Amino acid sequence: MADTKREIERKFEFRGAKAGKRGVPDLTGTAGIAAVLDQGTADLDAVYYDTPDQRLAADGLTLRRRTGGQDAGWHLKLPVAPGVRDEVHAALSDTVPRALEALVRSRTREQDLRPQVRLLSSRRLSHLVDADGTLLAELSTDEVTAQREDTSVSWTEVEVELADGIDEDLLDAVEKKFRKAGLKVSDAPSKLARALAETGAAPAPRPVPDVPAGSAADHVLAYLREQRDALVAQDPAVRRNLPDSVHQMRVATRRLRSAFKTYRKVLDREVTDPVGEELRWVAAELGVDRDQEVLLERLQSHLGELPRTHVIGPARSRLRTWNTTRRSGSRRRALAVLDSERYVALLDRLDALLADPPLLPAAGDPATTVLPKAVLRDYGRLADRVDHARALDPGHDRDLALHDARKAAKRARYAVEAAVPALGKPAKKLAKAMKSVQTLLGDHQDSVVAREALLGLARQAHGAGEPSFTWGLLLGREEALADQRERELPQVWAEASDPGLRSALSP
C-alpha cells in the first residue's frame, strides 16, 4: 500500500567558497523558530529510475529507491506547484512497485523503467521548533555525490521542508536570512534535475513544430499542448482518487475535441477526427462515475434543505442504496480504461499529432485574423441553437434543445478561451459571457437529469411500500428550478449576445 505526503520545501545552495565555509546560519529567532534541534547525520543511498529517454524527468517527476534514514523505500514525487510536490511512498523492494508504475504510466507508456542516476548523500538533519516544542520544519544539509555511468559530480545542498499545516511565510523568512549569509535558492527543482544537468544528461525537450510566431498554428498548437499536458498530469490524480480529478481530466479531453472542431481551418479534420473520437471514448468511460457523483451531491443537497417534517420514510437510506447500486464497479471501470492499450495508443497519437501536425494553408496566417473567424462560427452555432430552443413549447423537446444549446455554449467558451493569448481582453469578456450561458443551461440540464432520477426513486420507494411524498416534493422543486432557469435565459442571452462583445475580437 502506498502512502502520500504533501511536501512543501525550498532548496538552497552556497554562492561560493567563502559562503560555504561559513556554513548554514543559526535560524533561532527567525519567524517564530525558538530552537534548532540536531537530529544527527544519516547516509542515504538513492537510485533514480526513469525510461531510457527520461520521460519522468522531462515532466518534473522523480522515482527513486532509497536506503538509509528513517523513510527507506520507494518514493515517487509528483509536481503540484513550484516548491510543492506530492510524495508517494511504497515499501522497500527489489523492483518498482506496481502501484507506482501505474501512477507514471501516462508518461512511460510501454517503456521500461531503468536505473539512471545514483545519489549518495550525507545528511545532517535538524528540527526547527517553536517555543512549545512544536515542529515547524526540517532543516537538512546534504553533501551530495551523483554518479551516472563514468561521471561523478558533488555539491552541498540545504533544504528546508515545512511540517504539516505550517504557513509558507516561514520559508520566506528563512530565505531572507539565508540570502544575507550567502545562500541562494537553488536553480534546480530537485537533486535529480541538478545531477542530470551536471552530468550532461538533462532530458531533451519535446519536439515542437517550426511554425511562424504569432500565426494561427502557433497559438492553436500551444493550446493543444497545454490540454495534452493536463490530460497526462490528471492521470495519476484519477488513479489516486483525488477530488475533482476525473472532472479535470474530462475537461482536458473536451477542450482538445472542441479545438479540433473549432480550428478546422488550421488542422486537417481527416487526421484530428479519429483522435477526437478516442477522446470522446475516454470522457464517456470516466463520466460514469463523475456524473453519478454530481447527481448525488445535488440530490443530497436538496434533500438536506427540506424541513425535517417533510422527509417522510427512509429517504436518506434509500438514496444511499440507490447510489451504491449505480456506482458499483464504476471506479474499477475507470481504472481499466487508464490501464488499457487503447488509452496508451491515444496518448501516443496525441504526441505524434502535436509533433507533426496536419497543418492547412490558413495555419500560417496571423492568429488575429484566423481565430476570430473560428470563434464567431461557434458563436453562430450557439445562437441558432438558443433561438431554436426558445421557439419550442416547454416540455421534453425543449429540454433536449436546451441541452444541445448547452453543449454549443461549452464549445463556444472553449473556443474563445483558446484564443485569449492572441486576442486578449475582448476574448476574455466574450469567454465570460459564454460561461454564463453554459452555467445557466448546465443547471437546467442537471435539473432534467435529477427529475429522471427522482421519478425512479419514487417508483422504487412505492414498490418497497415506502412513502414517496419526499421524492414527489423534490421533483416539484426541480421542476420549479428548471422553469426559473428558462425564465432567466432571455436576459442572460441578451447580455451574452451583445454585438459589441463580438466586434471587439477583430483588430
Host H or E run for residue 43: strand 35-50
What are the beta bridge partners of residue 123? 42, 142
**pTM for the full predicted model:** 0.90
Per-residue confidence (pLDDT) for residue 67, from 0 to 100: 96
Domain ranges across the chain? 3-198, 216-503
Which residues touch 210 (CB under 8 Å, ≥6 apart)?
Answer: none
Which residues touch 135 (CB under 8 Å, ≥6 apart)?
Answer: 127, 128, 129, 163
8 A C-beta contact, residue 190 and residue 58? no
Which residues touch 156 (CB under 8 Å, ≥6 apart)?
Answer: 13, 14, 20, 141, 142, 143, 144
The candidate with the shortest Cα–Cα distance to 444, out of 413, 468, 409, 470, is: 409
| Assigned CATH for 216-503 | 1.40.20.10
CA–CA dist 84, 100 (Å, integer): 19
Q: Determine the longest span between alpha carbons in the chain, in angstroms.
A: 84
Q: Does domain 3-198 have CATH number 2.40.320.10?
A: yes
Cell 464517456 appears where? 284
Half-sphere exposure of 205 (CA within 13 A, CB side): 3
Q: Please give the grid coordinates belonging to residue 70.
A: 528513517
Per-residue confidence (pLDDT) for residue 2, from 0 to 100: 66
The candidate with the shortest Cα–Cα distance to 77, out of 167, 66, 247, 68, is: 66
Per-residue confidence (pLDDT) for residue 16, from 0 to 100: 67
Per-residue confidence (pLDDT) for residue 1, from 0 to 100: 46
Angle made by CA atoms 501, 506, 507, in degrees to the nearest 5:
125
CA–CA dist 261, 267 (Å, integer): 9
8 A C-beta contact, residue 209 and residue 41? no
Per-residue confidence (pLDDT) for residue 445, from 0 to 100: 96
Host H or E run for residue 366: none
Ranges under pLDDT 70 in the chain: 1-2, 16-22, 328, 507
